[in-house]
Structure 1
Amino acid sequence: MSDFQDYHSEDFLQEPSFCRYCTGTDASAVSFWESWIIAHPEKQAAVKEAKALYYMLNGNITTESFSRQRRRFEQAFQQHLATTPVRRISPVWKILARAAVIALLINIAGFAVYQYKKQNRLRNYSSLSGERKSFQLPDGTSVMLNANSHITIAQHFNKEAREVTLVGEAFFDVAAAANKPFIVHTAKMDIRVLGTSFNVRAYPEDKVVETALIKGKVEVTIHDEQNRKIILQPAQKIVIGVVAASHITTPSATIGNVMLSLRDSAAVETSWTRNRLVLTDMPLGAAAVEMSRWYGVKIKVDSTIANKYRYTATFEKETVEQALKAMQASVPFNYRIENNEIFISQ
Structure 2
Amino acid sequence: MNTKESAEIKALLQKYQADECTPDERARVEAWLEQLGKTSLTGITPSAEERILNRIRKRVIKGIPSRSAGRRVYVLQYLKVAALLLLVPGGFLLYSKWKQPAPQALQQYSTARGERKVLTLPDSTIVTLNSSSVLTISADFGEKKRIVKLTGEGFFQVKHDASKPFIVSTGNIQTQVLGTQFNVHAYNNESEYKIAVVSGMVSVGEKQAANKVVTIGKVLTRNLMLVYNLKAHQHYIKTADADKLSAWQNGQLYFDEATIPEITSTLSRMYNIDVQLQDKPGRNCKYTIGFNSQPLDKVLRVLSQLTGITYQYTNHKVFIQSQNCH
Please give the range of the TM-score, normalised by the shorter of the 2 chains.
Answer: 0.5 to 0.7
Contact kept, 8 Å, 1:120 with 1:154, in 2: the verdict is no
2:303 aligned residue: 327
* Larger displacement relative to structure 2 (206-215 or 329-338): 329-338
Contact kept, 8 Å, 2:260 with 2:285, in 1: the verdict is yes
Equivalence map 1:291-306=2 (5 Å):
291-305=267-281
Equivalence map 1:1-346=2 (5 Å):
69=27, 80-82=64-66, 115-116=101-102, 119-225=103-209, 227-230=213-216, 231-235=218-222, 236-244=224-232, 251-257=233-239, 259-260=240-241, 267-305=243-281, 307=283, 310-345=286-321
Contact kept, 8 Å, 1:311 with 1:327, in 2: the verdict is no
Which amino acid is 2:116 matched to?
R
Contact kept, 8 Å, 2:245 with 2:255, in 1: the verdict is no
Distance in 1 (CA, whole Å) between partners of 2:287 and 2:238 is 22
Kindly state the Cα deviation for residue 68 of structure 1 after the two structures are TM-superposed. Answer: 8.8
Higher radius of gyration, 1 or 2? 2
User: In the TM superposition, what whole-angstrom CA distance separates every residue of 1:283-342 from its partner, at most 9, and x where no partner exists?
Assistant: 322211121112111111110145176544312221111111122233444322344221
Kindly state the Cα deviation for residue 205 of structure 1 after the two structures are TM-superposed. Answer: 1.3
Kindly state the Cα deviation for residue 156 of structure 1 after the two structures are TM-superposed. Answer: 4.4
User: In the TM superposition, what whole-angstrom CA distance separates every residue of 1:74-103 from its partner, at most 9, and x where no partner exists?
Assistant: xxx99932379xxxxxxxxxxxxxxxxxxx
Going from structure 1 to structure 2, the CA distance change for 1:256 and 1:138 (only over 3 Å counts) comes to: same
Distance in 1 (CA, whole Å) between partners of 2:166 and 2:67 is 54
Give the alignment's TM-score, normalised by structure 2.
0.64
Going from structure 1 to structure 2, the CA distance change for 1:78 and 1:199 (only over 3 Å counts) comes to: farther
User: In the TM superposition, what whole-angstrom CA distance separates every residue of 1:243-283 from its partner, at most 9, and x where no partner exists?
Assistant: 55xxxxxx1121222x13xxxxx633222234311123433
User: In the TM superposition, what whole-angstrom CA distance separates every residue of 1:228-257 from its partner, at most 9, and x where no partner exists?
Assistant: 21442312222111455xxxxxx1121222
Contact kept, 8 Å, 1:284 with 1:305, in 2: the verdict is no
* Larger displacement relative to structure 2 (205-214 or 167-176): 205-214
Kindly state the Cα deviation for residue 190 of structure 1 after the two structures are TM-superposed. Answer: 1.1
Distance in 1 (CA, whole Å) between partners of 2:208 and 2:144 is 27
Partner-residue secondary structure (3-state), 1:301: strand
Kindly state the Cα deviation for residue 206 of structure 1 after the two structures are TM-superposed. Answer: 1.2
Kindly state the Cα deviation for residue 181 of structure 1 after the two structures are TM-superposed. Answer: 1.5
Which amino acid is 2:120 matched to?
Q
Partner-residue secondary structure (3-state), 2:245: helix
Distance in 2 (CA, whole Å) between partners of 1:78 and 1:302 is 77
Distance in 2 (CA, whole Å) between partners of 1:281 and 1:192 is 25
Going from structure 1 to structure 2, the CA distance change for 1:253 and 1:281 (only over 3 Å counts) comes to: closer
* Larger displacement relative to structure 2 (125-134 or 163-172): 125-134
1:59 aligned residue: none
Distance in 1 (CA, whole Å) between partners of 2:313 and 2:285 is 21
Partner-residue secondary structure (3-state), 2:101: helix
Kindly state the Cα deviation for residue 212 of structure 1 after the two structures are TM-superposed. Answer: 1.3
Kindly state the Cα deviation for residue 67 of structure 1 after the two structures are TM-superposed. Answer: 8.5
User: In the TM superposition, what whole-angstrom CA distance separates every residue of 1:133-178 from its partner, at most 9, and x where no partner exists?
Assistant: 2121111111111111111114543244321111111111111112
Going from structure 1 to structure 2, the CA distance change for 1:215 and 1:80 (only over 3 Å counts) comes to: same
Going from structure 1 to structure 2, the CA distance change for 1:321 and 1:176 (only over 3 Å counts) comes to: same
Gaps of 5+ in 1: 1-64, 85-107, 245-250, 261-265
Partner-residue secondary structure (3-state), 2:132: coil
Distance in 2 (CA, whole Å) between partners of 1:308 and 1:164 is 32
RMSD: 3.4
Kindly state the Cα deviation for residue 197 of structure 1 after the two structures are TM-superposed. Answer: 1.1
Going from structure 1 to structure 2, the CA distance change for 1:121 and 1:284 (only over 3 Å counts) comes to: same
Going from structure 1 to structure 2, the CA distance change for 1:179 and 1:296 (only over 3 Å counts) comes to: same
Which amino acid is 1:138 matched to?
P
Count of residues paired in the alignment: 242
Distance in 1 (CA, whole Å) between partners of 2:152 and 2:166 is 18
Identity %: 28
Distance in 2 (CA, whole Å) between partners of 1:308 and 1:194 is 37
Contact kept, 8 Å, 2:200 with 2:221, in 1: the verdict is yes
Distance in 2 (CA, whole Å) between partners of 1:180 and 1:254 is 28
Partner-residue secondary structure (3-state), 2:261: helix
Which amino acid is 1:335 matched to?
Y
Partner-residue secondary structure (3-state), 2:258: strand
